Amino acid sequence: MNYLSQRKGFLGYDARQKTNHKVVVVPFGLEKTVSYGGGTKNGPKEIIKASHQVELFDEELNKEPYKEIGIKTLKPFLIKKEIKSALNQLTKINEKILSNNKFPIVLGGEHSLTVGSIKPFVKKYDEITLLHFDAHADLRESYNGEKYSHASAIKRCLDFKNVKVISFGIRNLSLSEMNFYKKNQDRIEIFWSKDKKNWDLSRLKTIFKEKNVYITFDVDGFDASIMPATGTPEPGGLLWEEVLPIIKSVCQISNIVGVDINELAPIKNFDSYNFLVAKLAYKILSYIFEFKR
């Protein structure tokens, strides 16, 4: 696999820092089915650029986690033009990463990438639980005639019979999605954003304990006040300090197998949004490897 130099890759840390890498960052700027605001193809590039400004010391964990993790970043590559071919391309990349016993984190790109990203994990494990952050349920069978639309991302993941989904922050869905959810509550649980003050997070232990978990984080799960740089921003969303305890708790009790962060559509001269996503990626990796069994 072809990697960027350490200086140019995620976090941009000193190449003299020798660590056997455990993580591979996959920049996958997929943009095939966006239906409102565009720009997700530029997300990975701007996340990596912003990550060079992220402080490497984590005051909560009282360490520089990157030294224990080791992170390499794939060189940018041409994404195949047709959506199914692009998803198969991502599947093969993650298969190769897993065959090398490394941990993949995919930086998107639109949310439709998730079904391609999780395919190797679906094959490897008897059951996969998706920890899903999003403003939208993404449970449509298709959108604008496209089965692999970003609006169908979670529905496509549920095509795999051994996948279950726990969603946080949902606050926008269609009638057909609500009907599908109601008929499939044995496989889908939603923590609605409107109810966040009453969420019982003690239930996380029951839901996630000892599970194999894949994290998919659509950045529009954040409230539009802190994350307008996305194709379909929504009011009434999650804040930074509401998201991190959920991720930390799940990392403490489950086996996190992979991650994708998607739907950043950078806004020129507003780097704070890119920085937020870069810091989120580092924080997720820090929690995963702090508690990894």
Residue 56, helix vs strand vs coil: coil
Task: Give the pLDDT confidence score for residue 106 in this predicted structure.
Answer: 98
Residue 237 C-beta-side C-alpha neighbours within 13 Å: 24
Task: Give the pLDDT confidence score for residue 143 in this predicted structure.
Answer: 86
Residue 84, helix vs strand vs coil: helix
Which residue stretches of the chain have pLDDT < 70? 15-19, 33-37, 293
Closest alpha carbon to 156 in 207, 119, 202: 119
Please state, rounded to an integer, the average pLDDT across all residues of the chain.
Answer: 95
Domain map (residue ranges) of the chain: 23-291
Task: Give the pLDDT confidence score for residue 292 in this predicted structure.
Answer: 84
**CB neighbourhood size of 185 (10 A):** 9
Residue 217, helix vs strand vs coil: strand
- The C-alpha angle with vertex 231 and arms to 132 and 4, in degrees rounded to 5, equals 75
The reply to whether CATH 3.40.800.10 applies to domain 23-291 is yes
Task: Give the pLDDT confidence score for residue 286 in this predicted structure.
Answer: 98
- The C-alpha angle with vertex 265 and arms to 233 and 65, in degrees rounded to 5, equals 100
- The C-alpha angle with vertex 98 and arms to 128 and 244, in degrees rounded to 5, equals 55
Per-residue pLDDT tens digits for 196-234: 999 999 999 999 999 999 999 999 999 999 999 999 999
Cα four-point dihedral sign 46, 137, 25, 56 = positive
**Alpha helices (runs of H) in 109-264, residue ranges in sequence order:** 114-124, 153-157, 175-183, 204-208, 240-253
Question: Rounded to two decimals, what is the model's pTM?
Answer: 0.96
Task: Give the pLDDT confidence score for residue 239 in this predicted structure.
Answer: 98
Residue 134, helix vs strand vs coil: coil
